[in-house]
Amino acid sequence: MSRDGQKIDRRKFLKGAAVGAAAVSSTAISNAQDQESADHQHAPSDIALRVKALETVLTEKNLVDPSVLDEVVDRYENRIGPQNGAKVVAKAWVDSDYKARLLDDGTAAIGELDLLGTEGEHMVVVENTAEVHNLVVCTLCSCYPWPTLGLPPTWYKSSAFRARAVIEPRAVLREFGLEVSDETEIRVWDSTAEMRYLVLPRRPEGAEDMNESELADVVTRDSMIGVAIL
Ligand code: FE
């Protein structure tokens, strides 16, 4: 569906959802669903309904501009995500000068690609090598580099991951399917609101002939958090 189509659907929903937060009933949901097209066959989750109801109320009271909300949603659905971090990694793999700048001053080098932004203003990039494997966590909450990795996965925010990543990182990585040898040092980086980390994974074997764009396609989100390798 096109972006414009999405926006029209959101508007239609807002109009249809004018019943307001308190009046959202299972009957209303059922009736609204009957009128929706085939790609809206599943009932939204409880949290989604609450968000939409809240959005409706705020919009009707002119406290938020729906076009601004559309812009934010589009940004995080379509333009911000791990594909941005993958561009950083791929460039570092093919451009040794860029890689040196990236490891020296991640903020400046990522800024060269215009990939800084909210929740990613100050960046440190840590390089995986044969001797060192890096793992990123936020022990306090869920600090994460949004502009380069998008929104954090649920497990990243879980108390179990936040606590265990620093206590027993090797065991945690094993549960992600990643066996790190005893000879490899594991460094765990604790993100904060002031500093976010991005792992520069090792370039995979067999990727010697790939160009920068092709390389970017093989870089995964998890490899840039450090719970996977390529
Ligand atoms: Fe945090």
Same domain? 146 vs 200: yes
At residue 75, the pLDDT reads: 84
pLDDT, tens only, 163-196: 999 999 999 999 999 999 999 999 999 999 999 9
Q: Which of 67, 141, 158, 213 is catalytic?
A: 141
- 78, 112, 145: which is the final residue of a domain? 78
pLDDT of 35 > 90? The answer is: no
Q: Is 67 a catalytic residue?
A: no
Same domain? 86 vs 71: no
Q: What is the whole-number distance in angstroms between the Cα of residue 195 and the centre of ligand 1?
A: 10
Q: What is the whole-number distance in angstroms between the Cα of residue 102 and the centre of ligand 1?
A: 23
Write the CATH number for 143.
3.90.330.10
Same domain? 153 vs 221: yes
Q: Average pLDDT for residues 74-95, to the nearest whole number?
A: 93
Domain containing 186: what range? 81-225
Tell me the average pLDDT of the chain: 85
Q: Average pLDDT for residues 88-112, to the nearest whole number?
A: 98
| Positions at the binding site | 138, 141-143
Same domain? 187 vs 110: yes
How many domains are contained in the chain?
2
Q: Is 26 a catalytic residue?
A: no
Q: Is residue 45 part of a domain?
A: yes
Q: Which of 138, 181, 213, 223 is catalytic?
A: 138
| Positions at the binding site for Fe(3+) | 138, 141-143
Same domain? 70 vs 85: no
Two tokens, residue 28 = 């209303």
- 78, 95, 118: which is the final residue of a domain? 78
Q: What is the whole-number distance in angstroms between the Cα of residue 107 and the centre of ligand 1?
A: 18
Same domain? 200 vs 96: yes
Same domain? 87 vs 157: yes
Q: Is residue 230 part of a domain?
A: no
Give the DSSP per-residue string, the chain: --HHHHHHHHHHHHHHTTT-GGG--HHHHHHHHHHS-GGG-SPPPHHHHHHHHHHHHHHHTTSS-HHHHHHHHHIIIIISSHHHHHHHHHHHHH-HHHHHHHHH-HHHHHHHTT---TT-SSEEEEE--SSEEEEEE-SSS----HHHH-SPPHHHHSHHHHHHHHH-HHHHHHHTT----TTSEEEEEE--SS-EEEEEPPPPTT-TT--HHHHHHH--HHHHHTS---
Q: Is 37 a catalytic residue?
A: no
Q: What is the whole-number distance in angstroms between the Cα of residue 137 and the centre of ligand 1?
A: 8
- Per-residue pLDDT band at 86 (split at 50, 70, 90): very high
- Per-residue pLDDT band at 29 (split at 50, 70, 90): very low
Same domain? 113 vs 191: yes
Q: Average pLDDT for residues 23-43, to the nearest whole number?
A: 49
